[in-house]
Amino acid sequence: MPSPTGSPPDCGHGDDPVEVKAEVLGSLWRIVAEVGQRVEEDETIMVLESMKMEIPVTSPISGTVTAILAAKGEVVQEGQTVAIVE
């Protein structure tokens, strides 16, 4: 179904940047991926520590990590953007 503007619907991410968000409040324990690294969908980018549990933060798409927006040891909030993948 076309959008109200007549352009085709958005059927994917294309080359648009995708924000990777923390799903829980936690401390950034380990950064696994580097800026410029290619990652696959569901590949771990970083690991949070929350309540003595390790919680992986994974890429929602296959693409290239273009930014890491949190530092090791930093406390990140639930829903905070912690990386960008394109």
In a domain, 79, yes or no: yes
Q: Is position 2 within any domain? A: no
First and final C-alpha spacing in the chain: 26
Whether residue 73 is contained in a domain is answered as: yes
Q: What is the 3-state secondary structure (H, E, C) of the chain?
A: CCCCCCCCCCCCCCCCCEEEECCCCEEEEEECCCCCCEECCCCEEEEEEECCEEEEEECCCCEEEEEECCCCCCEECCCCEEEEEC
CATH of the domain at 63: 2.40.50.100
Number of domains into which the chain is organized: 1
Residue 57 is part of which domain span?
28-85
Predicted confidence pLDDT, tens digits, the chain (86 residues): 444 444 444 444 567 999 999 999 999 999 999 999 999 999 999 999 999 999 999 999 999 999 999 999 999 999 999 999 99
